[in-house]
Structure 1
């Protein structure tokens, strides 16, 4: 006989979702910082692959405390907004994410795997 543990988390659900949203921003910062990684003379954006796995994990964790799709996608929404902020220029004209294939790969890997996971569950 299986039991549902979601009522136990009902009181902690808002706190857990906020922590997951903050975690999405923290992981985005690390992914953006490590995006221009090179192995010798070859670009090796390993953080784009990590982004997909981490975002699937964040969506899964949000799904353990909420059945609503909007709340399950909250970490992904925060990650996407953070990505868009990093892609725009700052006050001094600095841009963290350039217009190159690594940035497109980070966006693709950060959004597509979690969306496939949500669509299948």
Structure 2
């Protein structure tokens, strides 16, 4: 059984991973196959965020398990905000909505639909004398 401190450290790393998935999803969003826009990063971000949510659900049952998705959303919206010259990293078309939908909405649906594992709890220890 993991200690509570180790669970918090692992959750923190998963949140950092969610932020990194957001940055990488935005960075590779404009990939194309020839002349056809091919947003494979949206599919990869959705799958990666679901895996991060899965691992977070094994560590906590509370709302902290959605921290990686919040970090992904922060990375997405910071990238969507225009810079000082009016430039934007994310294209203002259907690919950005697909990244947001697959990166956040799909894992959130899985989380609320009960498709995540339950947190393991420690078995009750007997007290002295064998009584609980």
- Structure 2 vs 1, CA of residues 9 and 64 (structure 1 numbering), >3 Å: closer, same or farther? farther
Pairs aligned (count): 114
Displacement after TM superposition at 1:91 (Å):
2.7
Displacement after TM superposition at 1:10 (Å):
2.2
Superposed counterparts of 1:1-121, under 5 Å: 5=1, 8-68=2-62, 70-121=63-114
Does the CA contact (< 8 Å) of 2:46 and 2:103 recur in 1?
Answer: yes
Displacement after TM superposition at 1:116 (Å):
1.4
Displacement after TM superposition at 1:9 (Å):
4.3
Displacement after TM superposition at 1:18 (Å):
1.0
Name the larger-Rg structure: 2
Aligned CA-pair RMSD: 1.2
> What runs of 5+ residues in structure 1 fail to find an aligned partner?
none
Displacement after TM superposition at 1:39 (Å):
0.6
Displacement after TM superposition at 1:97 (Å):
0.9
> What runs of 5+ residues in structure 2 fail to find an aligned partner?
115-132
Deviations 1:53-97 (A, max 9, x none): 0111111111111011x1111110111111111100123332111
Q: Aligned partners of 1:9, 1:79: CA distance in 2, in Å?
A: 27
TM-score norm. by structure 2 comes to 0.81
TM-score norm. by structure 1 comes to 0.88
